[in-house]
Structure 1
Amino acid sequence: MKPVTLRKLLLIAVSIIIVITTVIKITSNKSSDLQEVLKQSANIIPPDFINSNNAKKQQEEFTQKLEKITEDLLKQQDERLSKLEKERQKLEKQLKELRRPPAGSTLRETLAFLFPYDQNKKFPAYIWQSWKYGLNDERFGEKFKEGETQWALKNPGFVHELFNDDTASAIIHYLYMQIPDVVKAYELLPDIILKMDFFRYLILFAKGGVYADVDTLPLQPVPNWIPENVAPSEIGMIIGISSDPDSPDWRQHYARRLQFANWVLQSKPGHPILREIVAKVTELTLKKAENNDLKLSQTNDPSKTTRTKNLDIMEWTGAGVWTDVIFTYFNDYVQSGIYSKVTWKDFTKLDVPKLVSDVLILPITSFSPGIGTMGSQNDDHPLAFVKHYFENVWKGNS
């Protein structure tokens, strides 16, 4: 190789070293790095490099050393950047925990402050489930294990968490540590089904994502729930119709003429509907505690006990109060932007998805396929998204 070519190579190599070390110096704010690398570069360039008979060999050695130094520098830079990112995340978490609502804020104002709503954000890729037994418990049941497995298999890339009684309580205490009334209301609820109704609202309000009861089986991936003609940015919540009876005795079985399901929900965090249901359940529970009335209705007629208890649950944490809150939202122009009055008649016999404000309402087939009543279609229908077994797994487990 000609001396002039080697000289050019040397100049280029040294220039590269200087550029790299300068970047490292700026990133790490350590001036000693530049001096050290320059010292190393001086040591690896022999004085007789140009005139040596072994120029080719020395060139190879020089290249190897240069690559080693460059590799070490890049590794150090990556380690520093990784450390800085961890410190940033830790600081961000601490700041969030220290975030305090203004003094004198109401419950709803505090909820809105700590968990703001942004419709334009994406739906978080979470799937939340809960039951009294863990996956490794023999009492979990094969049917429910299959459902839990399918939620994960049909939705790769989603974070999938199953909570039991203890872990559900722990996460609620953590998420709502700054709102003691919410935590107190959760702990005061006298029946496990009341707690788990409340849990689904609380976890979705704080974190967003999908909540699904353990007695459900996904038939299609979650992204399929949104029609092609609707942009995800237009939607803040997806709910389905759970009951739409046309028989005159509907009051014996349901709290409302038409009810929205809460066994499967999808929402972005902080949605106003969830904020209101959390506030309502909290206030009702604390009021019941104040009046020493923390119990579900009872009857002397054993044949009516279950029905009476179920209706009471619907009014306290279940489909009755849930449906009321949704209609209240629709009929609040400031929140929903809807001018005309919205009633159950706008959804009865619904057979296609309907976007109302930022809420996508799915027909009864979507989350209750195959029940054979109220217009529900079979499991293989294009709008059949989730199979519900109606096992009432929480009933009777206080």
Structure 2
Amino acid sequence: MLLHEKQDSFSPLRQILGHVSQRRYRNYAAVGIALVLLSMVWLSGSLTLHSSRQKFHDDYVSNRVPEWTSRVSKSNDSHLIPANIWQIVLPKTQPFMGDPNHVHIDARQLEFTASWLATNPDWQYTLVGQKGGNEFVESHFKTNPKIIETYHNISNVGQKSDFLRYLLLSVYGGVYTDTDTVALKPIDVWVPKAFRDKARLVVGIEFDRRDGGPWADIPHWLQFCQWTIAAAPGHPVFTRMVNRVLKSLDDLSDLHGVPISQLQPESFEVMNSTGPAAWTDMVFEQLQVYNPLLNDTQDLSFMEEPTLIGDILILPIDGFGMGQDHSKSTNDGSIPPTAMMRHMFQGSWRGD
């Protein structure tokens, strides 16, 4: 049908050429018609490109996930976690607030991102920068101005990135992963088949005191990482975590006698307000809702296989934490079969 229509659309041109009797004028006519056709093709392409860009803009501004994202998420019928991959790169200082379009991102920060794209074709990937983060928070949390105010006032890039990942996963779901992580297996196989219709949150262990004493910056016997998290949108753990962040930052502000925008937190203050220590507290609280017999994170120590508690799937140390020299993590140069990804520990938030 399209071919037939295309052929018919050229027949008037043939008639015009047919009525030009002299060769010289026929050549002039052919050239003129060709120029007209090229102009039409260029104009059509420009309109199509503008329409595509406008559609993406409309989807974003109207607080909807673009339709293509929705189709990808729905194609993964056996999983409750949408097929979205999120990474965040925010500037370490905030001099660009007035002109967020000119924040430079060093391409070297994304050297491991290709592993996520290659391992997970057809997943929707989004790199969120300062402008996108601001627009997302402002458009999705209009009814909670405390979230917007706190987000904008955070000056420590580690805390800001932490807060943003929880908000993104709460709204859209998917997989958040730091830019210094490497994908080892497709996300589709992270959750064992028996749990795929049940798991709405996937967390990994980053520290387990099973083979040593306590660490100064880690208050728990066992700690969950938040360099990589997989979640269904709306999981209740994020409500807990957002409230924890808001309270922790207010507490730090009161402790130091300065507004949140002027805080210069120490490493432990970051980890215990927005980072893995706070995350572990909130995940464990949610686990206790599902299993009141859990008393301490030590009850999860020595885990050797993926374990589902309620709708939270906990991966053993090698799942998200291989290559470390503690916690019985595999660190002999090999990649264990239970490893889903690897953290390369190249983040530099501690200096912020």
The verdict on a shared fold, with TM-score over 0.5 as the criterion, is yes
1:244 aligns with 2:187: no
| Equivalent AA in structure 2 for residue 343 of structure 1 | D
Q: Offset of 1:121 from its aligned partner?
A: 7.7
The 5-angstrom pairing of residues 210-289 of structure 1 reads 210-230=175-195, 232-246=196-210, 250-289=214-253
Q: Offset of 1:246 from its aligned partner?
A: 4.5
Q: Does the aligned pair in 1 maintain the 2:228–2:320 contact within 8 Å?
A: yes
Unaligned residue ranges in structure 2 (runs of 5+) = 1-54, 66-77, 92-100
Match of 1:181 in 2: 146
**Which protein, 1 or 2, shows the higher relative CO under an 8 Å CA cutoff with sep ≥ 6?**
2
Q: Any idea what SS the aligned residue of 2:336 has? A: coil
The 5-angstrom pairing of residues 19-58 of structure 1 reads none
Percent of aligned pairs with the same residue? 26
Structure 2 Cα separation of the partners of residues 95 and 251 of structure 1 = 43
Larger Cα-atom Rg: 1
Match of 1:202 in 2: 167
| Equivalent AA in structure 2 for residue 367 of structure 1 | F
1:385 aligns with 2:340: yes
Q: Offset of 1:138 from its aligned partner?
A: 7.2
1:364 aligns with 2:317: yes
Structure 2 Cα separation of the partners of residues 346 and 138 of structure 1 = 42
Q: Offset of 1:331 from its aligned partner?
A: 1.8
Change (3 A) 1:330 1:95: closer
| Equivalent AA in structure 2 for residue 139 of structure 1 | D
Q: Does the aligned pair in 2 maintain the 1:296–1:312 contact within 8 Å?
A: no
Structure 2 Cα separation of the partners of residues 317 and 138 of structure 1 = 23
Unaligned residue ranges in structure 1 (runs of 5+) = 1-85, 97-119, 298-308
Change (3 A) 1:396 1:226: same
Q: Does the aligned pair in 2 maintain the 1:185–1:286 contact within 8 Å?
A: no
| Equivalent AA in structure 1 for residue 308 of structure 2 | L
Match of 1:352 in 2: 305
Q: Offset of 1:247 from its aligned partner?
A: 6.7
Match of 1:341 in 2: 294
Q: Does the aligned pair in 2 maintain the 1:330–1:342 contact within 8 Å?
A: no
Q: Any idea what SS the aligned residue of 1:374 has? A: coil
The 5-angstrom pairing of residues 75-86 of structure 1 reads none
Change (3 A) 1:172 1:150: same
Change (3 A) 1:95 1:356: closer
Q: Offset of 1:137 from its aligned partner?
A: 5.6
Match of 2:73 in 1: none
Q: Offset of 1:150 from its aligned partner?
A: 1.5
| Equivalent AA in structure 1 for residue 297 of structure 2 | W
Q: Does the aligned pair in 1 maintain the 2:287–2:312 contact within 8 Å?
A: no
Deviation string for 1:191-232 (max 9, x for gaps)?
1100001111110001100000000010011011011332x2
Match of 1:46 in 2: none
Match for residue 140 of structure 1 among 74, 98, 107: 107
| Equivalent AA in structure 2 for residue 327 of structure 1 | F
Deviation string for 1:234-264 (max 9, x for gaps)?
1110000011134765241313221101000
Change (3 A) 1:349 1:132: same
| Equivalent AA in structure 2 for residue 127 of structure 1 | I
Q: Any idea what SS the aligned residue of 2:249 has? A: helix
Structure 2 Cα separation of the partners of residues 164 and 95 of structure 1 = 19
1:152 aligns with 2:117: yes
Q: Does the aligned pair in 1 maintain the 2:175–2:228 contact within 8 Å?
A: yes
Kindly report structure 1 stretches of 4+ aligned residues shifted beyond 4 Å. 93-96, 246-249, 287-291
Q: Any idea what SS the aligned residue of 2:125 has? A: strand
Match of 2:6 in 1: none
Structure 1 Cα separation of the partners of residues 213 and 231 of structure 2 = 33
Structure 2 Cα separation of the partners of residues 351 and 247 of structure 1 = 14
Q: Does the aligned pair in 1 maintain the 2:202–2:315 contact within 8 Å?
A: yes
**Superposed CA RMSD:** 2.8
Q: Any idea what SS the aligned residue of 2:204 has? A: strand
Match for residue 329 of structure 1 among 271, 286, 303: 286
1:395 aligns with 2:350: yes
Q: Does the aligned pair in 2 maintain the 1:255–1:319 contact within 8 Å?
A: no
What is the number of equivalent residue pairs in this alignment? 266
Structure 1 Cα separation of the partners of residues 275 and 312 of structure 2 = 19
Q: Does the aligned pair in 1 maintain the 2:210–2:301 contact within 8 Å?
A: no
| Equivalent AA in structure 2 for residue 244 of structure 1 | D
Q: Offset of 1:363 from its aligned partner?
A: 0.9
TM-score between both structures, scaled by the size of structure 2: 0.69
Q: Any idea what SS the aligned residue of 2:350 has? A: coil
